[in-house]
Amino acid sequence: MSRVIDPSSLRRYTAGVLEPWSPLLVSNRAPYEPGPGGRLRRGAGGVVTALLTVAEATGAPWVACARTPAERELAATGGPVDLGDMQRPIRLHYVASDSDRYRKFYSVIANPLIWFLQHYLWDLSREPLINARYWDAWEDGYVRVNHAVAERAVEVARELPRRPLILTQDYQLYLAPSRIRELLPQATLQQFIHIPWPTPHYWKVLPQQMRDAILTGLLANDVVGFQTNSDVRNFLVSVEELLGYRVDHRERAVIHHGRVVWARAYPISIDVPAMEQLSTTPAVEQEIAGLQQRRPEKLIVRVDRTDPAKNIVRGFLAYERLLRQRPEWRRRVQFYAFLQPSRQDITVYRDYLASVKATAERINRDLGELDWEPIRLEFGENLRRAVAAYCEYDVLLVNPIYDGMNLVAKEGALLNRRDGVLVLSENAGAHEELGPWAMTINPFDVDATADALHVSLGATQPTRRRLARLLREQVKTHDIGRWISLQVRDLHDLVYEQPSPAR
């Protein structure tokens, strides 16, 4: 996608309120990364989508890890990299760690250890097996990369014209804020957690030293943002039970080292005008025409990274059950799965991708016919194709095991042109907002998912139209601008207006 929200509309949300501060964004993944031939292309994932909007609207610089050899080369030039092709360029400051340290940080601790924990993915009877390998990756990878990121952020923040507002993103950087706070006590720190926050029981999978460091790292912020109210509750109870702190549940706040730390829910969303505009471009229309040529009467769609949390295999098994139990759908429906291979340097992710392929191939072999392929499985990173699939679905299957938000559900609901039905896991953050107008499923219950697919495919036109309209309205009125403005409002009301020992 060329660009995100019109910065002028975002300035409306931030005007005046952000004035006391100079914002600085900090994340693991950079917003743009060198692709084939060295051309910069937009980084993957919801974090980048959302934060680009903030960076473009406020001119905030960005600190990110150099993750690949190409990024390390860019980082070696020393100074910040200006990301062009935008109305306001973004100054990107890379943090380069050697590749083995980065591997320990990213491929051993952040993913899978912390990611698996926060999505309840461990098969606890066997894994994780925390041993010297994990401790080394923790100390030499996660802790050191976090500190390097924090130190770079502080260097950049010291050059900013006003009081720094450091907006750190996600689970890769839990330890950065405490280091930033040590070096820059006057800064305002806010961190947004894009993934679910599990219960304190489940955090006890991690040894105390690790989980305490994560919690106290987060408590160095002034505000910690989560996707849902349930994540906020789980976080506060974790602080209470695991650290033994007294928590004010009514205020959703806790005192740490004499400072008030607030926990709040800000459900992330999408850039509505930009997505709508993209969906009407000739390139997308061409993709839609291609899809229309091949599609049977009904199309079930999913668009996902190949992450075990997305529950792709169970989705195929539910579809298989639908075809076996209700043969009237055979030949009339196709399941189009458009998937982006993800984190392929991690064994468990490679294995998962292999089982996604094997399951689809087996179902196609067992049930397919000469001129009908039950599952069309396609891999690639192509936003236009994803948008075309959103426009064309009759049913969108979003069945994650657990998911922070799931922006596919929102993008699909906004852009669909066929009054398609959203089949949505009760464990996706998006369910807190979209649940009333979706077909709710338990993601583990394959039979119930098959039934939900059947009911959705057969829903009457008035029902589909009503549900689709209500979903669309919900997304339109709860867009990315709202996500940002809620955070800005809280920074102003909770942090700026309140006397605190740090000011």
Which residues of this protein are in contact with ligand F6P, per CB under 6 A?
29, 44-48, 111, 170, 194-195, 342-343, 404
Give SS3 for 255: strand
State the minimum distance, in angstroms, from the CB of residue 410 to ligand F6P.
Answer: 14
Tell the smallest beta-carbon distance from residue 142 to ligand F6P (Å): 14
Choose between 230 and 340: whose C-beta lies nearer to ligand F6P: 340
| Smallest separation, CB 352 to ligand F6P (Å) | 14
Minimum CB distance to ligand F6P, residue 46 (Å): 5
Question: Which residue, 110 or 391, is less far from ligand F6P as judged by CB?
Answer: 110
* Shortest-Cβ-distance residue relative to ligand F6P: 45
Nearer to ligand F6P, 309 or 395 (CB): 309
Residue 396 CA to residue 409 CA, distance in Å, equals 8
Q: Which is nearer to ligand F6P, 195 or 391 (CB)?
A: 195
Q: Smallest distance from the beta carbon of 225 to ligand F6P, in angstroms?
A: 13
Provide the phi-psi class of 335: left if phi over 0, else alpha when psi is between -120 and 50, else beta.
beta
Q: Please, are residues 194 and 169 in contact by the beta-carbon 8 Å criterion?
A: yes
CB-count exposure of residue 502 (10 Å: 0-12, 13-18, 19+): middle
Q: CB–CB of 395/420 below 8 Å?
A: yes
Tell me the sheet residues that pair with 400.
Answer: none
Tokens read off for 330: 């055979």
- Closest to ligand F6P by CB, 247 or 407: 407
Choice between 47 and 438, CB closer to ligand F6P: 47
Question: Does residue 291 contact residue 416 with C-beta atoms inside 8 Å?
Answer: no
Label residue 257 left, alpha or beta by phi (over 0 means left) and psi (-120 to 50 means alpha): left
What is residue 316's three-state secondary structure?
Answer: helix
Residue 67 Cβ vs ligand F6P, minimum distance, rounded to whole Å: 8
Phi/psi-derived region of residue 36, left when phi > 0, alpha when psi is between -120 and 50, beta in every other case? beta
Instruction: Please state the closest distance from residue 68 (CB atom) to ligand F6P, in A.
Output: 12
C-beta closer to ligand F6P: residue 114 or 389: 114
Q: Which is nearer to ligand F6P, 334 or 399 (CB)?
A: 399
Distances in whole angstroms, Cα of residue 132 to Cα of each of 135, 136, 137: 5, 6, 8
For 327-460, where are the alpha helices, taking DSSP H only?
A: 347-367, 383-392, 407-415, 431-434, 446-458
**CB 103, min distance to ligand F6P, A:** 13
